[in-house]
Every structure is written in structure tokens, then in C-alpha cells.
Amino acid sequence: MTGWRLLLTRPADESMALGSVLAQAGIFSSSLPLLEIEPIPVSDTMRAAILVLERFCAVIVVSKPAARLGVDLVSRQWPHPPALKWFSVGAATAQILEDSGLHTSFPVDGDDSEALLELPELRNAIARPDPRVLIMRGEGGRELLAERLRGLGASVEYLELYRRRLPEYPATALAQRIRAERLNGLVVSSGQGFEHLHQLAGAAWPQLAQLPLFVPSPRVAELARAAGAQTVVDCRGASAAALLTALREHPEPVL
């Protein structure tokens, strides 16, 4: 058993899976999901985008919820999907697509848009006349990926499949959980996850900001530091393996 006692903030099913991996490594964790995924009802516009799937030279899926919902939508419209270049931001998202028979390329050195944009397979996919790219994602989100692709000459369309919301908790729920379970580290998996953490912390944030905060990318690390987090650890990925590596490299707290 290590000295870490971590707060996990991913959606409930993902926190459960991560907690199981951590437990096998002798690490205590407690789950307080700060992201709730709400699928967007399927509309005629969404169906229309899938019906012309073969017109795109690349489909990019940015998250696991987008992969699950996107695969379901594609399977309804295409018993045998057209041959396309599929891409994802990370390995876990790619695995969902692969399990559905969609060969998917993803960056192995990072779980963010910046790493994906450097992927040679993506550059090759859009190296054609009038390239069109479809991005499957949640409502809102970063524009960096689309902006960079447009800068490379591609036209980009979004297929937004879900919304992210902060579950309803009492105002003091976060601080009370950390105090009651003697938690000494916080884990977030996205920029919005951190924003919800900061929002729920409220007046207790100055105290919670002193705890080590494990984040998936330089972008989220920058957000956290700008908000006053004092010890931010960039895991360079959102996977359980990336978190475990970061935990091993960061000094354990003294109990």
C-alpha cells in the first residue's frame, strides 16, 4: 500500500475502472464524479451527417463518450461502414472504435489535440484536394483542432453527440469528502473536469489548491496553475498507466 489517497473525478463508470486499477497497485482512491455525460437526442441533422460519411477523408473522435455514441449512430445507418481513416486523441478512445471494427490511428506520445495534429497518418489523410474532416465530440469544447485543420486546407464539420454537466452536490461535498477520507491528491482528466472541481470547491479552493493535482496535459496544467493550484503534475496522458507513472515519479505524501 502506498501513501497516496486520491480523489477521482471522472464520470462514474470511468472512475470505477480507474479505481480498480489503482487498487491493484495498492493505491486508495475515492470517487466523486464531476462530469456527467448526457447524450444529445439523435436529430435529422445528425443522421444526415452519418449518411454522407463516405464524403469525409478523415473522422476524428475526441473522447470515449463520443466513440461509444458515434459507433452506435454509425451502426444504425451503415451495416457495413465505408472505408475511412479514423483517428482518436487517445488509446482508450481508439480501443472502443477498434472493438467495433474501425481501424483507428492515434498518437502514442500524448492524449491531446496537439499530439494528434502531429500524427503523420492524419497529415497524409488530408493531403488531397478539398479534404473534409468530421469531428465527433461533445457539445462545445476546444476549437484548436478544427482551427489547425482548416489552416492546413481542410474543411471541418462537427458532430456533437453529448453534453457534459456537473452533477448536483451540496456546496461542501468536495471539501467534506477530502477531509473525511484524508485524501491527499486530486485527479482530473480534462479541462472541463478541472473547471468543475474549481467550481465545486468554492470557498475551500485555497486549501484544496495546496494538494497535488494530477492532470492529463500541459493545457490542463496551465489552467490549474492559473487558478492557483500549487503542485500540478502533468501525467502526459489520461490513461491509468500515465497516472501510475506520474504517481511513481512524484514524491509520496507523508502520512
Contact 194, 188 (CB under 8 A): yes
Task: List CB contacts of 74: < 8 A, sequence separation 6 or more.
Answer: 50, 53, 81
Whether 1 shows a pLDDT value over 70: the answer reads: no
Residue 119 has a pLDDT of 92
226 band by pLDDT with thresholds 50, 70 and 90: very high
**pLDDT value at position 53?**
93
Q: What is the pLDDT of residues 177-218, one digit of tens each?
A: 999 999 999 999 989 999 999 999 999 999 999 999 999 988
Where residue 28 falls (left for φ over 0; alpha for ψ -120 to 50; beta otherwise) is beta
Distances (CA, A) of 4 to 23, 108, 135, 169, 211: 11, 27, 37, 25, 11
202 vs 200: CA distance, rounded Å: 5
Walk me through the domains of the chain, giving residue ranges and CATH numbers: 5-35+169-249 (3.40.50.10090), 38-164 (3.40.50.10090)
pLDDT reported for residue 79 = 84
User: What digits encode the pLDDT tens for the residues 93-134?
Assistant: 999 999 999 999 999 877 678 889 999 999 999 999 999 999
Output the pLDDT for position 21: 96
Per-residue pLDDT at 235: 92
pLDDT digits (tens, 9 = 90+) for 237-249: 888 999 999 999 9
Report pLDDT for 254: 60
Cβ neighbour number for residue 252 with a 10 Å cutoff? 13
Spatial separation of the C-alpha atoms in residues 220 and 217, rounded to whole Å: 5
Task: Give the pLDDT score at 168.
Answer: 93
Distances (CA, A) of 243 to 8, 95, 166, 217: 11, 19, 23, 11
Q: Which residues pair with 37 in a beta bridge?
A: 164
pLDDT digits (tens, 9 = 90+) for 12-51: 989 999 999 999 999 999 999 999 999 999 999 999 999 9
- Would you state the pLDDT for residue 92? 86
For 128-178, the pLDDT digits (tens) are 999 999 999 999 877 889 999 999 999 999 999 999 999 999 999 999 999
CA distance linking residue 84 with residue 129, whole number of Å: 16
